[in-house]
Amino acid sequence: MICSLSGELAQEPVVSIKSGNIYEKRLIEKYIDANGREPTTGQPLALTDLVTIVKIGNSSNNNSNGAGTKPRVGTTTSIPGMLQMFQNEWDALMLETFTLRQQFESVRQELAHSLYQYDAACRVIARLIKERDAAKSALANTPIRTVTNNNNNNNNNNNNNNNNDQMDVENTQKLPQDILTKVGDLSKALSAQRKKRSKPEKLPTTEEIKSYAILASNEAQQSTGGLSSVDQHGSLVVVGSGGDDGEVTVYDNDSSSVKKSLKGHTKRVESVAFTPNGRSVVSGSRDRTVRLWNVESGQSQSAKYSGEVLSVNVHPSGDIVAVGGSDRSWALFDISSGSSSLNQILKNGNAANGPCGAVRFHPDGAILGVGSDDGQISLWDISQNKRAITLTAHTQAVRSISFSENGYFMVSCDDSVAKVWDLRKSTCLQTFDIDGKHGHSVSFDHSGSYIAIAGSSLTIVNLSGKSSFEITKQLDGQGGLYNRAIWSLDSQTLTTVSEDGLIKLWGSQ
């Protein structure tokens, strides 16, 4: 009698009166206690539903309870059968051993991999802790250096701006060594030349400046947003579109004709600049790209920027371009290989508390001036990537900055005022009220004698003494808002661009 649960010969068989199945008594009783059901049919089953099967032996059996003798399993009734059974059990044991060995090897490999990952994680954590401690140490040892305007007329502005002093944390990123050497050598050479330079013989007098009028007015491009930016090299003028067409145009003042139309930007062009040799043009746009153009071929290379590009300026060496962005950053790009590449070599990602809308290299090339929307102007030592001076006097966004050629003075403007600074003393010399009209740009001429202020009007200021300036000429109502103004190399003419889309050439009649 085979048990329906174990599949083996039942030693104490019982039968279910509900299903007729035979079970080992001890097994079925445990099953009923646990489940209360028939194992094979799933019907409810109680202990009272089980009937014990009694094996009746012959009269000569001495077994007192009358149970029969337990029969042998068929495979164990002979020696060959028993040997076969032992062999089968041995084979099963070997297969199980092999399976366990495989599982052991798999677990061992997983453990080794986990230990390797743990060791790598420990090394990374140790390096991060070291970098964190170094950053804390640098932050703790970095001084605060802020220079404010000491002019008595601007004391109220100083009180408002002193609360916005910034802490300069040393930046670890530096210029590549070859470029660093070139910048240092050029700075020394230019500084020595600058001290020996005299003013041009043909420099216009104040009387000639007072007679300035429009000599020519031409339309360089069809743009719904007017002209937003301008730069000049010889007779060539490059202008940027203020509309979403993103066009950059190279214009010849002598022939009053368009030399080349450069198309590639997809949004407003905020700033343009010639390289010193006049063969290339750099442009920055609100489409978050900087482009380097070959004037002759019209081909360009572009580089993506992290924010909208608000200002660009070319280093005196012609190998570096400075970029100011809407994401409060400024960066330097290497253009030494010409129009074949445009590679970012240095970036300061947290240079101000607002967009950096004006960037300009000092004439020596060692300092970068950065004007921002928080009203501050920072002078950065590009060789160390460190802020050298912070000037706080503007109460509005700084729109434009320009250095005098001798390097002593700087002029800046916001929407309401233009300020002239003495960089030797880090003080504001004079403030010119723009009479509530918009101020968009300021520009020193090459001699450092005249300043052009472009906005709702065109104002020309001249250096009347060693360190004093006065308004010489103011022109109003000539075609709306002037966005930019740039002097010719000999200071004889002044070129402006405005929202009416016209390039105007100014000079004495």
Residue at 60 is within a domain: no
Residue 109: alpha-carbon gap to chain centroid: 42
Containing 359, the helix (H) or strand (E) segment is: strand 356-361
- What the block records as the tokens of 99 is 């399976």
Name the nearest CA neighbour of 400 among 372, 421, 368, 365: 372
Tell me, what DSSP letter sits at residue 267? S
pLDDT at 437 (0 to 100) = 57
Q: Are 217 and 508 in contact (CB under 8 A)?
A: no
CA 421/CA 267 separation, integer angstroms: 34
- What the block records as the tokens of 474 is 């103011």
CA 509/CA 501 separation, integer angstroms: 24
Residue at 63 is within a domain: no
The percent helix, strand, coil of the chain (3-state, each to 5) is: 25, 35, 40
Residue at 274 is within a domain: yes
Give the CATH number of the domain where residue 478 resides. 2.130.10.10
Residue at 114 is within a domain: no
Tens-binned pLDDT, residue by residue, of the chain (509 aa): 888 887 778 889 999 999 999 998 988 898 899 888 898 888 899 999 999 988 665 444 444 444 455 555 556 667 888 888 888 888 888 888 888 988 999 999 999 999 999 999 999 999 999 999 888 877 766 554 444 444 434 444 444 444 444 444 445 678 888 888 888 888 888 888 776 666 667 788 888 888 888 888 888 776 666 788 899 998 888 888 877 788 899 988 888 888 888 999 999 999 999 999 999 999 999 999 999 999 998 888 999 999 999 999 999 999 999 999 999 999 999 988 754 567 888 888 777 888 999 999 999 999 999 999 999 999 999 988 888 889 987 988 999 999 998 888 999 998 888 999 999 888 999 998 875 456 678 999 988 889 999 888 888 998 887 778 888 888 765 556 788 899 998 888 999 888 888 888 888 87
Residue at 273 is within a domain: yes
CB contact set of 78 (below 8 Å; sequence gap of 6+):
none
Give the CATH number of the domain where residue 22 resides. 3.30.40.10
The conformational region for residue 477 under phi > 0 = left, psi -120 to 50 = alpha, else beta, is left
In DSSP terms, which residues pair with 309 in a beta bridge? 325
- My answer on whether 341 and 477 are in the same domain is yes
Tell me the whole-structure pTM to 2 decimals.
0.66
CB contact set of 460 (below 8 Å; sequence gap of 6+):
209, 212, 450, 451, 452, 453, 471, 472, 473, 474, 494
What count of other Cβ atoms lies within 10 Å of the Cβ of residue 314?
A: 21
Residue at 91 is within a domain: no
Q: What is residue 496's three-state secondary structure?
A: strand
Range of 38's domain?
1-54
How many structural domains does the chain have? 2
Q: Are 427 and 386 in contact (CB under 8 A)?
A: no
Q: Are 313 and 362 in contact (CB under 8 A)?
A: no
CA 181/CA 189 separation, integer angstroms: 12
27-59 burial, b at 16+ Cβ within 10 Å, e below that, comes to bbeebbeeeeebbeeeeebeeebbeeeeeeeee
CA 301/CA 341 separation, integer angstroms: 6
Q: Could you give phi then psi for residue 395, rounded to 5 degrees?
A: -105, 0
| Sheet arrangement for strand 269-274 | 269-274, 280-285, 289-294, 300-304
CA 434/CA 413 separation, integer angstroms: 9
pLDDT at 211 (0 to 100) = 87
pLDDT at 330 (0 to 100) = 93
Residue at 160 is within a domain: no
Q: Cα–Cα distances in Å, from 392 out to 292, 339, 427? A: 33, 38, 10
pLDDT at 156 (0 to 100) = 42
Tell me, what DSSP letter sits at residue 317? T
Longest dimension (CA), the chain: 153
Strand 212-219, strand 227-233: pairing: unpaired
Name the nearest CA neighbour of 232 among 211, 213, 254: 254
Looking at residue 375, its amino acid is: G
Name the nearest CA neighbour of 448 among 432, 436, 466, 435: 466
| Sheet arrangement for strand 409-413 | 400-403, 409-413, 417-422, 427-433
Residue at 134 is within a domain: no
Name the nearest CA neighbour of 290 among 310, 315, 274: 310
CB contact set of 470 (below 8 Å; sequence gap of 6+):
461, 462, 464
Looking at residue 52, its amino acid is: T
Angle at 370 between CA 366 and CA 373, to 5 degrees: 175
- My answer on whether 190 and 44 are in the same domain is no
Strand 147-148, strand 257-263: pairing: unpaired
What count of other Cβ atoms lies within 10 Å of the Cβ of residue 354?
A: 16
- My answer on whether 185 and 43 are in the same domain is no
